[in-house]
Amino acid sequence: MYRSLFIALLLAFPAVATAQSNTASPAAVTVDSAGWLAIGGVSIIQLRDKSVCNSLSDRSSRIMSRMVNALEKIHKKGRFHDINVAVLPPRPGEPSGEPWIAVEGELVMKVTFEDAAANDQKPDKLAAAYAEQFRKALRRIYTP
């Protein structure tokens, strides 16, 4: 009984990942129950598909972990006004047409055909839009 209550409480709160750094503390990376990925409270994108992961929660956790790594790179370099966000082609062995979004060279998320279908767009166009949303959010967070 207590175990199921504990699990219910865990599921009731959004997942949160925060990077640790010696220079400054990067913003928290969160995903709420509706799938909205946010950095430092700034919503970026809504995840609608689990992609190749077991669940949307699993995919969210992977993206949050990668984003924390990217934020740590930003803080180590101290480059808050010149953050690199790029759309990269699929890695060898991955389906063609499913680009990656990279922040400071860290592959943060893959934009899949399922993501594109859920948003009624082509993967490359959706990846470009997502990359721009990441750029704007990071600019908003790190610009005084």
pLDDT in tens, 71-121: 898 888 876 778 899 999 999 999 899 999 999 999 999 999 999 998 999
pTM, two decimals, is 0.76
| pLDDT(125) > 80 | yes
Question: Cα separation of 64 and 79, whole Å?
Answer: 20
* Contact present, 85 and 74 (Cβ < 8 Å): no
pLDDT of residue 81: 76
Whole-angstrom Cα Rg for the chain: 16
